[in-house]
């Protein structure tokens, strides 16, 4: 079926927000008395929800407190070192020129996602933004994708989800949406191949070739 809408992940797909995330992870570890994370541990924290990742690291009892502390730091540092990734604006413009609606579906807190999109001039291209703290479970649960598609009035088989981690691909599959994996810094090609995306591209501009 012809693609009639494109859904994008946020961190690692549209923007590189690693520096600010790493800083806030370091501050959170300090505040809860945990050793500072390695670079590998920080990168593994980009994609899952904060609560899921912190539960994995420190257990459920610490997770809620750690997430609250992290978000208090991120309120100050959410733009620190954050940059739009190469080719993103041009790709979104090209999709818009085709008349296709665009959505952002992310495990990032909705408000921070919107503020970053606004900062980089991308929000005007978004018909829908779905994120954490909107009452829906995080990806890979398909709930946020389903909600975005409902708002867009698009059937799942007519949509494509573009993301840089297995979480995005698994969410797309669960929602019945075509999946497009884009190369990034937070998952290897081998990790992406293991979840069998419908499409794999080495740069975001190549999305245009499949819509």
* β-pairing verdict for 128-132 and 102-109: parallel
What is the pLDDT at residue 1? 77
pLDDT surpasses 90 at 14: yes
CB burial of residue 205 (10 Å; 0-12, 13-18, 19+): middle
What is the pLDDT at residue 46? 82
If we measure between CA atoms, which residue out of 61, 80, 75 comes closest to residue 19? 80
Predicted TM-score of the model (pTM): 0.89
pLDDT tens digits for range 26-73? 999 999 999 999 988 998 888 788 899 999 999 999 999 999 999 999
Using pLDDT thresholds of 50, 70 and 90, give the confidence band for residue 189.
Answer: very high
Q: Which domains does the chain have, with CATH numbers?
A: 5-16+82-210 (3.40.50.1000), 18-77 (1.10.150.240)
CA distance 69 to 65: 6
């Amino acid at each position: 079926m012809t693609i009639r809408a494109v859904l994008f992940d946020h961190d690692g797909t549209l923007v590189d927000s690693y520096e600010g995330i790493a800083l806030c992870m370091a501050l959170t570890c300090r505040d809860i008395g945990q050793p500072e994370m390695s670079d590998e541990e920080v990168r593994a924290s980009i994609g899952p929800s904060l609560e899921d990742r912190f539960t994995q690291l420190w257990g459920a009892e610490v997770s809620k407190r750690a997430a609250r502390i992290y978000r208090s730091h991120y309120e100050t540092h959410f733009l620190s070192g954050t940059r739009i990734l190469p080719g993103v604006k041009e790709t979104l413009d090209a999709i818009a020129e085709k008349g296709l609606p665009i959505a952002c579906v992310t495990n990032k807190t909705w408000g921070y996602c919107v503020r970053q999109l606004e900062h980089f001039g991308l929000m005007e291209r978004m018909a829908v933004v779905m994120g954490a703290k909107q009452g829906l479970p995080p990806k890979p649960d398909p709930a946020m994708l389903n909600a975005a598609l409902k708002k867009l009035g698009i059937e799942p088989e007519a949509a494509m989800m573009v993301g840089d981690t297995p979480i995005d691909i698994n969410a797309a599959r669960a929602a019945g949406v075509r999946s497009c994996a884009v190369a990034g810094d937070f998952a290897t090609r081998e990790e992406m191949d293991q979840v069998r995306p419908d499409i794999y591209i080495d740069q975001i501009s190549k999305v245009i070739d499949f819509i």
